[in-house]
Amino acid sequence: MATKSAPSTVTVPAPQINRIRMASLGALTMLIIQFAVGTAYAIYGTAPASGKPIGMFSSPLLAVHVVLGVLLIVAAIMLVVRAVQAKLAPLIVTSVIGLVVILGAFGAGSAFAGSGSDGASLAMALLTAVAMLAYAASLVISSQPRAER
């Protein structure tokens, strides 16, 4: 005998949504700082020449850029975990996008440090912009009333 079941709705506690919102804001803030530090290094730092790579910690600006990049990866992973725990598909999507593009930007940064490629530098900047957009979208989604999520 088949029984009809009511569609299940996921009720996520407000504190959990607030943690996701604050973590998204933190990641967005870190990305803006990362972008500013990367831009400052591009203007004032020594760019790697073709065939002459630079060390990841060869200048204070670059060291901050690298350390902040690693912290961004950790923050992005934690956001994915929190979104999965909350079982909110839109936040899972935006947080996974954020993590993937941050990993891509980190890879582009490693390529840039090794070759000085303009394409790798552009990829870092564009992927950072996509990550900013993903976390801004997370802020909007997590700010919506529960019935709209």
What are the pLDDT digits (tens) for 41-64? Answer: 888 877 776 666 677 777 888 889
- C-alpha 121/C-alpha 108 separation (Å) is 7
- The pLDDT, as a whole number, for residue 8 is 46
pTM of the model: 0.84
What are the pLDDT digits (tens) for 117-148? Answer: 889 999 999 999 999 999 999 999 998 776 54
Whether 90 is covered by a domain: the verdict is yes
What are the pLDDT digits (tens) for 20-41? Answer: 999 999 999 999 999 999 999 8
Mapped onto helix, strand or coil, the DSSP state of residue 6 is: coil
> Phi and psi dihedrals of 49, rounded to 5?
-90, 160
CATH number at residue 28: 1.20.120
Q: How far is CA 58 from CA 62, 103, 119, in A?
A: 7, 22, 21
Question: What domain range includes position 111?
Answer: 15-45+55-148
Whether 2 is covered by a domain: the verdict is no
Whether 34 is covered by a domain: the verdict is yes
Chain centroid to Cα 130, Å, comes to: 8
Residue 49 β-bridge partners? 52
Element (H, E) at 35: helix 14-44
Whether 85 is covered by a domain: the verdict is yes
Taken in order 98, 137, 10, 78, the sign of the CA dihedral is positive
Residues 105-122, mean pLDDT to the nearest whole number: 89
DSSP secondary structure letters along 63-107: HHHHHHHHHHHHHHHHHHHHHHHHT-HHHHHHHHHHHHHHHHHHH
